[in-house]
Structure 1
Amino acid sequence: MKYIKTSILVLLLCLNADLSFGQSSPKSLRLFIIGNSFSQNASAYLPNFVKEKGIELTVGRAELGGHSLAQHWAYAEAAEANPEDPKGKPYKGKSLRMLLSDGTWDVVTLQQASYLSADLESYSPYAKKLYDYIKKIQPNAEIIIHQTWAYRSDALKFGRVAPNQLAKNQQEMWEQSRGAYHAMAKQLNVKIMPVGDAFYAVASDKVFGFKKDADFDYANPVYPNLPNQVNSLNMGYSWKDNKMAFDANHANEAGRYLGSLIWYATLFKESPLNMAYVPNKVPADFAAYLRTVAEKTIKNLNTTK
């Protein structure tokens, strides 16, 4: 079996899980996301979860691939200077103000671009400027920080921790990005969705953590063979047009599931252990383990504030 001792481990984790989540989840929510492909990944299964629970969810999006806080702010600034300037309307021909002004939003999320997430200096002053901008348009909206994740342990390079300096490995990228996100949350006095913590908890687990396949010939791959990538939360290796591609950054189905569990638990104050939906490509045993990780991650965040 792929997951040795899984049932016993999951049972023990479930018995020790903290179920002290709020009992009064909202029946509807209007959520606006400012981010990029990582926010798309991490919120991928929210529609499935809310459907399961009978919750009405409306999602607005200002997401552009690879975009940082600085870039989102630059677009908003351009639109404020000249509402007709195309540079201020990168979101399918609309500005951030136009999107935020579309009704009343209950929650607005912010995040840094993953490559810059471990560089604290990259957050300032853009996080505060975006926060203030959102509050002027949606004064009653709750702003929540989406803590993104570190790249897979076998990534060819990791995110920036300072100008001209990259993280040495997955652990350093996670530690530095976690510190930066928490500093941002403290400055703005907002809460965090700890997706990055959940990803690293899995990656560093002795049983479930991804381990690079040492037996695969990466220099001379033969189609359609791929390395063993069991328990990976990232896309990893795949074949495209008879060439082997590698993406150590974006989330695969398991990673999207874990991220969505954290988002759902944060937004609706409900235990991830209560979720029944599992994507087809995520093995049931691994999914059960990921639910316990999400539960424990939320618990740890709440007890270390």
Structure 2
Amino acid sequence: MKAIVLLVSLLFCVSSALGEAKTVRILTIGNSFSRNATNHLDDLALAGGQTLIHTPLVIVGSSFQVHSDKAKTEGKARLYTNGRDLIANLTAEKWDYVTIQQASIKSHDFATYQPYAGILRDYITGHAPQAKLLIHQTWAYRKDDPRFTKPSDKAGEPKTQEEMYRGLTAAYDKIAAELGGKVIPVGDALFMADTDATWGYQTDTSFDPKTAKQPALPNQKHSLHVGWRWAKSKDGKKVSLGMDGHHANTAGEYLGACVWYEVLFGESAKGISFIPKGLDVEFARFLQETAHQAVQARIK
């Protein structure tokens, strides 16, 4: 009997030291950026001893408007790929959180946020009143993305990575205040990492994409974005060099997931055991620390 009591006490102490395990139910209303940022979230939750129940509603390239308009359409166009419309998804579980986000290309322009974000908030409060609203702050493009190397003359368009980051941050903060939601600061974390003196990505100025021959690529060490890559055409007949400075690569996805983990579970990602295959361990620890700093900065 004494042994059983001792074992129970020991388990309680271990549980207290590690933090209480949680079950979090989350519905994400987003696009490829929400898919990027949650790609490693299941593995982080498992490594942290947590339980995650997650339904993603992904429409590639979609904005607040696309999702709010979809909720008002009729027939099959109203349904997401899981066969349910927005209302049916909102009522499918007792969600703890529902997330929304803007399309990255429009993220700096607050004029594109409303009334659509407000319409989505009203659907959420009307059909999942117990759920807390989270606003997923998407991220700025890589500093050598064509948006910045060949900037648009259009008024209000960001000319640099920092301009895009400052603009989207102001817009997300404003919409969060208007809707009463909390920001998931993934954009903060990626900008912090991208501009870090030691770990930040530096453009390889010696690489000329116009003269590059397969499989040559620039030095993209510490990039958080997909960047330059050789890829086959849709018909598989041609391989060409392309730049994706928008989407996150493995490192960027891991950083984003660490931010989500901290916000959802209230636990630090620092020291967590899961690291994606192929990701440098030291770099991964830096990304964990950066995620923690970004979340903590929003709390203070």
Fold equivalence (TM over 0.5): yes
1:27-68 alpha-carbon deviations (Å, 9 max, x no partner): 211110000000000011111011112222111121110000
Tell whether the 8 Å contact from 2:133 to 2:180 is kept in structure 1 after alignment. Answer: no
Tell whether the 8 Å contact from 2:138 to 2:187 is kept in structure 1 after alignment. Answer: yes
- Within 5 A, what are the aligned runs for 1:22-33? 25=20, 27-33=22-28
2:52: which partner in 1? 57
The counterpart of 1:222, out of the listed 185, 188, 213, is 213
1:153-188 alpha-carbon deviations (Å, 9 max, x no partner): 001016x99985421110000000000000011011
Percent identity, aligned pairs only, is 36
Q: What SS does the corresponding residue of 1:293 show, helix, strand or coil?
A: helix
Matched, 1:187 2:147: no
Query: Larger Cα Rg: Structure 1 or Structure 2?
Result: 2
CA distance in 2: counterparts of 1:131 and 1:66, whole angstroms: 20
2:247: which partner in 1? 250
1:11: which partner in 2? none
Tell whether the 8 Å contact from 1:145 to 1:185 is kept in structure 2 after alignment. Answer: yes
Stretches of structure 2 lacking an aligned partner (at least 5 in a row): 1-16, 233-238
1:100: which partner in 2? 90
Matched, 1:171 2:166: no
1:269-288 alpha-carbon deviations (Å, 9 max, x no partner): 11121411111121111111
CA distance in 2: counterparts of 1:111 and 1:23, whole angstroms: 32
Tell whether the 8 Å contact from 1:261 to 1:294 is kept in structure 2 after alignment. Answer: yes
2:12: which partner in 1? none
Aligned-pair CA distance for 1:25: 5.0
Aligned-pair CA distance for 1:121: 0.7
The counterpart of 2:224, out of the listed 220, 226, 233, is 233
1:234-260 alpha-carbon deviations (Å, 9 max, x no partner): 000111133112100000000000000
Q: TM-score, normalised by structure 1?
A: 0.86
1:300: which partner in 2? 297
Aligned-pair CA distance for 1:224: 0.9
Stretches of structure 1 lacking an aligned partner (at least 5 in a row): 1-21
Tell whether the 8 Å contact from 1:118 to 1:161 is kept in structure 2 after alignment. Answer: no
| Higher RCO (CA < 8 A, seq sep 6+) | 1
Aligned-pair CA distance for 1:26: 5.1
Q: TM-score, normalised by structure 2?
A: 0.87
